[in-house]
Chains A and B, each alone.
Chain A
Amino acid sequence: MRKYTVIYMANLMSNLQYMANIIINSLGFIVHIFIFFHVWNYIYENPAELIYGFSKTQMVWYVTITEIIFCSVAGRRMVRTICNEVRSGNVAYNINKPYSYVGYIMFSNLGEVTIRLVFYVMIGLGLGITFLGSIPTITIIEGIVIAISWILSIIINMLFLTFIGLLAFIMEDSNPMYWLYSKMQLIFGIVFPLEFFPTAIQPIIKISPIFVTSYGPAKLFIDFNWRFAIIVILAQIAYLLISLGLCKLMYMKGVKKLNVNGG
């Protein structure tokens, strides 16, 4: 585990040198929150109105939290990097190293993710309080559970992104898979809670990764209850194992087919 800590720390320190980049990048995140605030402000003519059981305040907080979780990971770049390494054969440099490639990818990205997460949580909470004037009331213990749930959701998301990147072993370009994955996350998890969808679709969302990466962690923040928290955390542990297994399997199968063209 020490070697992964070193990889993580190296990435963390390197990204701390480029804080200006992260600050400029956060503009996109701020704009997303700004747009959704205006969308929900327009839709909720009466602030006390409930739509599918959600008040305007809850909807804005829901989108803010899902955006924090999703934007903390530079998903497009992560998939593109893995995809390019597989396509170019550069992945071969990591085969003879004393660490797992999946572990290396995860920890080498976690440094940047940590900085982004801390930064986006501060901005997100700041924007939420500015727009709405209040924050949901939660106890310290509840806050810790929510934080664990957010961290697990980010790790699961990163593992799925790694899996998508590794799909380049079996298809020429896995970037289109990322487009679909991110849009599914956006439509079925980030923008709308599952209550907004027809009852026939809701069970599918509940068993999909979207439940553990977007809906569950955000719902805990806006309407915490212990029974739901246990369900979310257990589902996240299950998905953590599934996504990790998928990555390992894809890497093991893919690396056997690897052709390195020298040079």
Chain B
Amino acid sequence: MLMEVKNQINVTLKSIKYSIMKEMLNKGTFLMNIFFMILNDASFIIQWIIIYNIKEDVGGYTFNQVLLLWGIAAGIFGVSRFLFKNAFHLSDFITNGKLDSYLVQPKNVLLAVISSSSDSSALGDIFYGYILVFLSGFTVIKFLLFTLFMITGAIIVTDIAIILGSLSFWINRSDILADTGNGLMTNFATYPDGIFKGSARAMLYSIIPVGVTVYMPVQVLTSFNYSMFFIINVITLILTFFTFFIFYKGLRKYSSSNLMFSKI
């Protein structure tokens, strides 16, 4: 069992390595994409400077906490798209019968699919996340916790993308639904939860779990809280098991479209 897990991890790491190497074929474009993504993310600081010039706190967040919020949000989306880009294109794989070549491999189908492509610009998001953590006040503990929350958040965001993508096993042309769902996660993750009230706020801790990926980590990073730390990790684990369950349940309904394509 342990040997099997070790082998699976090795295969997934190799898959990630090769998809990154593929992205690095044109080094100029690779570096430009990273640089422009950092610039793209950084432009939002202007928005928050203007807002904090008007009001001292927004939704109970100080400017430094908003930097952390943005850092975590950028890092999460960076890690998920850098390592598991195809989780966000799962609908296309299912609808167009592109899973065939993964089904014949003697390893985990889901991990093989989602790790087979990488987005180089997402590396810019990860760098930007770390830059903001340094700007908000660096400590070793904060750095380690930030890295952990970036990983748990990335796992949850990838889980949500897989669940939404897996809808294509049952619903035809659900790719737009998946794209919209993934977009919702990004939109809400970059604004403090304190500005939302009532059911809108409750939604952010349930259906759109931005609360667990971003808001709770910001609170733990600001003042450490064991119960929140525990909740974040447990929810990540439960959601991941649920994601695998949904994908493999849906996979039984998968039918090939006899599509021939090359994987380069």
Q: Chain B residues near A173: list those with CB within 8 A.
A: 29, 32-33
Cβ contact of B29, chosen from A21, A38, A172, A191, cutoff 8 A: A172
Q: Which B residues are in CB contact (< 8 Å) with A184?
A: 43
CB-nearest residue of chain A relative to B45?
A: A187
User: Which residues of A sit under 8 angstroms from B32, Cβ to Cβ?
Assistant: 171-173, 176
For residue A190, give the distance in angstroms from its CB to the closest CB of chain B.
Answer: 10
- The yes or no answer to B137 lying at the interface (CB within 8 A) is no
A197 within 8 A of B: yes
- State whether A38 touches B40 (Cβ < 8 A): no
Interface string of B182-198 (1 = CB under 8 A from A): 01100110010011110
Interface residue B253 (Cβ < 8 Å from any Cβ of A):
no
From B33, B46, B51, B187, give the contact of A28 (CB < 8 A): B187
Alpha-carbon distance A183/B39, docked complex (angstroms): 9
Q: Is the CB of B184 within 8 A of A176?
A: no
- A186: chain B residues at CB < 8 Å are 43
Tell me how far the C-beta of A214 lies from the nearest C-beta in chain B, rounded to whole angstroms.
Answer: 14
| Chain B residue contacts of A43, Cβ below 8 A | 51, 54-55, 58
In the complex, which residue of chain A has the Cβ closest to the Cβ of B42? A183
Quote the shortest CB–CB distance from B230 to chain A (angstroms): 30
Indicate if A27 sits at the interface (CB-CB under 8 A).
yes
- B36, B43, B177, B184: which contacts A31 (Cβ < 8 A)? B184
Cβ-defined contact, B195 with A192, below 8 A: no
Query: Are B54 and A187 interface neighbours, CB within 8 A?
Result: no
Residues of A within 8 A of B28 (CB): 172
Quick check: A192 and B29 within 8 Å, CB to CB? no
Q: Which of B146-193 contact A (CB under 8 A)?
A: 173, 176-177, 180, 183-184, 187-188, 191
Q: A41 to B187: give the CA distance in the assembly, Å.
A: 18
Binary interface encoding of chain B residues 21-53 relative to chain A, with 1 for a CB under 8 A from any of its CBs, else 0: 000001011001101110110011011001100
Known contacts A39-B191, A172-B26, A183 near B40 by CB under 8 Å: yes
Q: A24-B176, A173-B32, A180-B39 are in contact. Are A42 and B187 (CB under 8 A)?
A: no
Given contacts A24-B177, A172-B28, contact A180 B191 (CB under 8 A): no
Secondary structure of the A contact surface, majority rule: helix
Q: How far is the CA of A180 from the CA of B41 in the complex (A)?
A: 9
A191 and B44 alpha carbons, distance in the complex (Å): 11
Per-residue 0/1 for A160-185: is the Cβ within 8 Å of any B Cβ (1 yes, 0 no)?
Answer: 00000000000111011101100110
Q: Do A176 and B50 touch across chains, with their CB atoms under 8 A apart? A: no
Contact of A51 with B by CB under 8 A: yes
Q: Which of B26, B43, B184, B200 has the most CB of A within 10 A?
A: B43
Measured CB to CB, the nearest residue on chain B to A42 is B195
Bound Cα distance A86, B197 (Å): 47
Main secondary structure of the interface of B (DSSP, over half): helix
A196 at the interface (CB under 8 A from B): yes
State how many angstroms separate the Cβ of B37 from the closest Cβ of chain A.
Answer: 7
The size class of the interface chain B forms with chain A is 35 or more
| A25, B47: Cβ atoms closer than 8 Å | no
A48 within 8 A of B: no
The answer to whether residues A42 and B58 also contact, given A172-B29, A173-B33 and a CB cut-off of 8 A, is: yes
Given contacts A172-B28, A173-B32, A187-B46, whether A25 and B176 have CB atoms under 8 Å apart is yes
- Return A199 CB to nearest CB of chain B, in Å: 14
Question: Are B33's CB and A187's CB within 8 A?
Answer: no
Nearest chain A CB to B126 CB, angstrom units: 16
Verify B183–A28 contact, CB threshold 8 A.
yes
Asked if B117 lies at the interface with its beta carbon under 8 angstroms from chain A, I say: no
Q: Name the distance in Å between B59's Cβ and chain A's nearest Cβ.
A: 6
Q: Nearest CB to that of A40 among chain B residues?
A: B195
Q: Considering the complex, give the chain A residue whose CB is closest to the CB of B47.
A: A187
Docked Cα-Cα span, A177 to B39, in Å, equals: 11
A163 to chain B, nearest CB (A): 17
Apart from A51-B54, A180-B40, what are 14 other A-B pairs with CB-CB below 8 Å?
A31-B184, A35-B187, A38-B191, A38-B197, A38-B200, A39-B51, A39-B191, A42-B58, A43-B55, A176-B35, A180-B43, A183-B43, A187-B44, A187-B46
8 sample A-B contacts, Cβ–Cβ < 8 Å, listed by A number: A25-B176, A172-B28, A173-B33, A175-B33, A179-B39, A179-B40, A180-B39, A186-B43
Chain B residues near A (Cβ < 8 Å): 26, 28-29, 32-33, 35-37, 39-40, 43-44, 46-47, 50-51, 54-55, 58-59, 121, 173, 176-177, 180, 183-184, 187-188, 191, 194-197, 200
Q: Which 3 A-B pairs have the closest CB atoms?
A: A176-B36, A179-B40, A183-B43
